[in-house]
Structure 1
Amino acid sequence: MPTILISVLISFVIGIAFTVVVLRKGDDNHKRLPLPPGPSPLPIVGNLFDMPRESSWTAFAAMSRKYGDIMHLKAINQHIIVVSSSEVAADLFEKRAAIYSDRYQSVMMTDLMEIGWSFTIMDYNEEWRKKRKVFHQYLGANAIRAYDNQQFDHVREFLRQLHRQPEKSSEHAHFLFSAILMDTIYGIPIADITNIHVAEAEKSVEGFNEAIEPGRFWVDFLPLLKYVPDWFPGANFQRLAADWRLHMFKARDGPFYETKSAYTAGSARPSVVATILEDISDDLQPEQERIINDSVGTAFAAGVNTSAPTLQIFLFAMLTNLEVQRKAQAELDAVVGRDRLPTLNDKDNLPIIEAILRETLRWMPVVPLAIPHYTSASDEYRGYYIPKGSIVIGNSWHILHNPDDYPEPELFKPERYLAADGSINPDVMDPSASCFGYGRRICPGRFLSLNALFLAMACTLHVFNIEPEEGPDGTPLKTEIRMTGNFIPHPKIPPCSVKERPEAEVLFAQ
């Protein structure tokens, strides 16, 4: 074995031993209070091998049924708290937000991938607040209404694509939200899903989804591993980090500087970035530019990869719940009529569509585990000790499948959100309170996503009957959904049959 390899190996082993000793020192300062219950840890590695590798939301849910709605695990010396009820989530993430609003600064993401700039994973600090201000000012509930017409045009094109090729519904959904977000945020039209900016965003989100998951990479629990060279056996994480880092910077910078150049040349189309540049006028400082670029870059990548899967799940739900479809279509016909497509101005008068949207978010949440929070101070809750520096994960899937809040949670039942008079029942918990994150870290771009989803769902049901495909003998084919991936699982839905409703041709021609 070459001398250099022996030296690196010895340093590596010493580094692990040193890390474990340092991390273990002072670990048990909580003698007066117990930690929350959880599986028994092994010596040194703790619960590292209890950390699920796939379908982690259901694995954590199974553990929580045994240990309770606040559960503790320990990976080497990293405390991990799993929250599995809306009550605990509200208590910690909202009422105690001052302690529970930080993000875990993963070595993989912050040091190796160098994406500490991302609004999603930044610490709760002054720079984070500046970026949140950008979101609220330019992507808030009122601000995004300026882009209603752009969203409507893209939804109408989605209907045409679905009509021509219903077997490619998943691809159409992905293109729809790529087009909406690229147009709304940057004013950049895209011809198809192969657009370079969309492709880079896809690759960057793939890396984000892998790296954000607690327990996925040992370097997060043994930080000295970050010094292991990429050629060393077992250092594939170094090569992955370098590749993902490249794509993330390209996904962030490419569309922003294209829009900035167009704005300077006087050819920029209406967009969030163009509006910001107009507001700042000639006084754009490098620091401001960086904050704007970081903020909108996060919004695009996150929006596409959560909204498109949600629309796919909606299509599957309609395939398997034809009676729900019929009720929604009756509401649309009564409120909108058959001579036009629904718009966001109809939203308040379409409670069944709103209920379908909420149930789609709840039934199969596309972010089943919330992005981990991190405690900035030690805390006591329900007689348990929660150490400073704990990773705190909201198991949104388990919260949204709690039968106390949602009876028969495995069933798709939009009517659960409706009061006796047909309006939205305010006493039933809105699932978006869990689907888009918790407390001060709730996704500030959710209004754009919710509006686009509502419009796409309403227009699709107004124009089409969505039914299972039929086999050679005329009987409906079996409908089954598969979820692939872990942190943000992607649905694989069966082909659907799209049949025009009355006056569909008139609606297409608008």
Structure 2
Amino acid sequence: MSFVTVSTTFLACMSLLVWMTRIGRREPGLPPGPPTTPLLGNILQFPKEYAHLKFTQWAKEYGGIFSLKVGRGTVIIISDPRIARDLLEHKGATTASRPPFYIGEVVTGGNSLILMQNTPTWRRVRRLAHNLLTKEQCAKHKPIQAAEATQVMYDFLKDPEHFSSHIGRYTNSVITSIMAGFRSPRKGGADVVDFFNFVHRWARLATPGAHPSIDLFPILKYMPERWAAWKMEAREVRSMQQKLYFGTLDRCAARIAEERQNGSFLEDIVKDLDKYGLDREMAALQRYLCGVMLEGGTETSSTFLLNFILLIMNYQEVQEKAWEEIGRVIGEDRSPVLDDWERLPYVQAIVKEVFRLRPPLPVAVPHYTTADESVESYFIPKDSTVIVNIWAMGHDADAFDDPEVFNPARFLTSEFGTKPGADDSGRRHDLHFGYGRRFCVGLHLANDAIRLNVMNYLWAFTFRRAINTKTNTPVPADIDNYHDGMVLCPQPFVCDIQPRNVERAQIIERDFAGARRVFEQFEQELGPEDAAFVRSLPGRF
């Protein structure tokens, strides 16, 4: 072998070795972060559960923006609202995409509005969703929101033990009524059960650590299914999703064909694709558009309401202050309406404090950069995943006094609940709805649902710890005991829910009986069990 050949081979091997040792290393100009390991970067340190807590710990050490290396990839974690605003809103044209997510592609076929990258198709579908969910459009659907909220009070009154299921039924039924024109009158109905079975399996599959990192190691796509259980799981979740989404649209189309329309959003789209700029091929996306709204509108709103109950049950003094304000403003003769909201500053503060302390999405859905950017003099390379740690923003001891304490009064003395001298740059009351071009289009529906239910619960009921009948002691309800996953939902807990007085219980029953005229137009397609349940209720005939 010639000297030239040996030298060339040696230099090639050395070059390959140098290149490999650079993999996983933090490039110059990136935000700081934990020490890396050659080839792997921070893969071994990346949290597999409760990521928001580990990210918050790192933020205390490395600052409001830090970076992680995942092999050759870069992950940027932001815990400072000002930095998040500057990167994701001021530079939204290049930070509005989503990172590659192979499992999501398998399950949704690339048609999920939440997971789609920043493409012309995504922008068209997002405009459609935005037009459907404007404040003016949502106002048309306040009657069904109010009627469904009335049923929650009735359900709490008659079956308080299953309050969590009643809340899930409510949030799901409101969205299906508004989007597709049918409702679920009982917690055990097939539509509700099938939806939550799907959502829970999909959430488990999408959680980091639930499957190998196919996006980091694409060769895993070709593993035989007998060695890759995630493949079978993804296929089954996709089948559940399609059955749920396509069935919803098919029911809507059948109603139109039989001229039984009730004003749902999807009816308008199905009848007039041209009006919304949809060709026949793209019209398939409407199935996923409806489905994404079902997922987002159901799970996050129900999670917020469960967090609300868990917190006020543990902070009786907060509940008592809210009772005083509710009683003074609304009185004893009627239940609340949305127009009451602006006259209830302490109740407003409670909602803000629940969002601060227990954001339903503690870590927002990641963004992805499509060009090199910079922020705070740091280099943010193209193809970086950007994660916003909403949890850290609300638990920052530099911004909030006693950040782990549930104290709504902080929002009566400061716009954002922050302490004197804190930097409020970039803070908003709606940080939990996202950033820039990925801001949640369901803002108005979600806010109306949360406000109406919070007012109703505080007006109608007392929420206290249940009593263990054997020991005559309160049953603990831990405010730090949560499911792991994208949505910060509390583990099941028990609560003693009682009407505040006989008069309010009577008003609940009266209002629920009167909701018949609103409900009946959304009950055209009930199955036999749901129909029998409806006939058994007061005001039904």
- Give the TM-score category using the shorter length: 0.7 to 0.9
**Whole-angstrom distance in 2 between the partners of 1:340 and 1:384:** 56
The answer on 1:36 being equivalent to 2:31 is yes
Q: 1:346 matched to which residue of 2?
A: 340
1:266 aligns with 2:259: yes
* 1:254 pairs with 2:253: no
Aligned sequence identity (%): 27
Does the CA-based 8 Å contact 2:25-2:41 persist in structure 1? no
Select the residue among 292, 305, 310 that pairs with 2:304: 310
- Identify the range of structure 1 (470-479 vs 113-122) with the bigger mean alpha-carbon deviation: 470-479
Q: Give the match's secondary structure for 1:220.
A: coil
Preserved CA contact (<8 Å) 2:313 2:463 = yes
Alignment-mate amino acid for residue 395 of structure 1:
N
For 1:477, give the aligned amino acid: V
Shift, 1:393, TM fit: 0.5
Q: 1:465 aligns with which of 451, 462, 465?
A: 462
Aligned counterparts of 2:80 and 2:426: Cα–Cα separation in 1:
12
Deviations 1:469-507 (A, max 9, x none): 223465433332320122223212532122222321332
State the 1:24 CA deviation.
Answer: 6.2
Q: Which string of whole-angstrom CA distances, capped at 9 and with x for unpartnered residues, describes residues 357-383 of structure 1?
A: 121111111211111110101122233
Q: In structure 2, what residue type is equivalent to 1:376?
A: T
Change (3 A) 1:470 1:495: same
Q: Deviations over 1:311-370 (max 9, x none)?
A: 011111110122221222222222222111111122222222222112111111121111
Q: Residue deviations 1:119-167, cap 9 Å, x none?
A: 1011122212212222221112221111111011111111111122222
Residue type of the partner of 1:40?
Answer: P
Q: Are 2:113 and 2:125, in contact at CA under 8 Å, matched by a contact in 1? A: yes
Aligned positions of 1:398-437 closer than 5 A:
398-419=392-413, 432-437=429-434
Structure 1 counterpart of 2:507, which letter?
Answer: L
CA distance in 2, matches of 1:175, 1:429: 35
After TM superposition, give the deviation of residue 62 of structure 1 in Å: 1.1
1:153-183, Cα deviation, whole Å (9 max, x unpaired): 1111111111222222211111111111111
For residues 98-117 of structure 1, the C-alpha deviation after alignment (integer angstroms, 9 at most, x for no partner) is 2211101212222x324411
**The one of 127, 140, 144 aligned to 1:146:** 140
Q: Report the secondary structure of 1:225's partner residue.
A: helix
Secondary structure in structure 2 of the residue aligned to 1:219: coil
- The 1:300–1:238 alpha-carbon spacing in structure 2 relative to 1, beyond 3 Å, is same
Structure 2 residue corresponding to 1:49, chosen from 37, 41, 44 = 44
| Aligned residue among 173, 182, 186 for 1:179 | 173
**SS state of the match for residue 352, structure 2?**
helix
Aligned-partner SS, 2:67: strand
1:58 matched to 2:53: yes
Q: Is the 8 A contact 2:82 2:425 kept in 1?
A: no
Partner of 2:390: 396
Match status 1:476 vs 2:474: yes
Distance 1:108 1:420, change over 3 A: closer
Q: 1:453 aligns with which of 450, 461, 474?
A: 450
CA 428–394 in structure 1, closer or farther in 2 if over 3 Å, else same: closer
SS in 2 for 1:359: helix
Q: How does 1:489-504 map to 2 (within 5 A)?
A: 489-502=488-501, 503-504=503-504
Is 2:83 aligned against 1:84?
Answer: no
- The separation in 1 between residues aligned to 2:25 and 2:497, in whole angstroms, is 62
| Contact 1:134–1:292, Cα closer than 8 Å, also in 2 | no
For 1:457, give the aligned amino acid. V
Aligned residue among 343, 346, 357 for 2:351? 357
Contact map agreement 2:25 2:69 (CA 8 A) in 1? no
2:498 aligned counterpart, secondary structure: strand
Contact 1:106 1:220 in 2 (8 A): yes
State whether residues 24 and 41 of structure 2, in contact with CA within 8 Å, keep that contact through their aligned partners in structure 1.
Answer: no
Q: Secondary structure at the match of 2:68?
A: strand
Give the distance between the partners of 2:414 and 2:486, measured in 1 at CA.
Answer: 37
How far apart, in 1, do the equivalents of 2:434 and 2:163 lie? 27
2:532 alignment counterpart: none
Aligned residue pair count: 484
Partners in 2 of 1:479 and 1:295 — Cα distance?
A: 37
Max radius of gyration: which structure? 2
Tell me the SS of whatever aligns to 1:263: helix
Report the CA distance shift for 1:28/1:414 in structure 2 as closer, same or farther (over 3 A): closer
Moved more, 305-314 or 464-473: 464-473
**Separation in 2, partners of 1:493, 1:428:** 37
In structure 1, the partner of 2:288 is 294
Q: TM-score, normalised by structure 2?
A: 0.83
Deviation at 1:212, TM superposition (A): 4.3
Match of 2:507 in 1: 507
- Of 45, 59, 68 in structure 1, the residue corresponding to residue 63 of structure 2 is 68
5+ residue gaps in structure 2? Answer: 1-15, 512-541
**Partner letter of residue 273 of structure 1?**
L
Matches within 5 A, 1:227-246: 227-231=222-226, 233=227, 235-246=228-239
* Contact map agreement 1:396 1:434 (CA 8 A) in 2: yes
CA contact (8 A) 1:70 1:84 kept: yes
- Which amino acid is the alignment partner of residue 300 of structure 1? L
RMSD: 2.9
CA distance in 2, matches of 1:377, 1:424: 35
Alpha-carbon spacing, 1:416–1:459, altered in 2? closer, same or farther (3 Å): same
Preserved contact between residue 35 and residue 385 of structure 1 (Cα < 8 Å): yes
Aligned to 2:3: none
Residue aligning to 1:15:
none
Instruction: Determine if contact 2:363/2:388 at 8 Å carries over to the other structure.
Output: yes
CA deviation profile, 1:156-213 (whole Å, cap 9, x unmatched): 1111111222222211111111111111111112133444444443344335434544
The superposition leaves residues 236-272 of structure 1 with CA deviations (integer Å, 9 ceiling, x where unpaired) of 2212221222122222211111112112211233322
User: Partners in 2 of 1:155 and 1:51 — Cα distance?
Assistant: 41
Instruction: Provide the rounded CA distance (Å) in 2 between the counterparts of 1:45 and 1:29.
Output: 8
1:443 paired residue among 436, 440, 443: 440
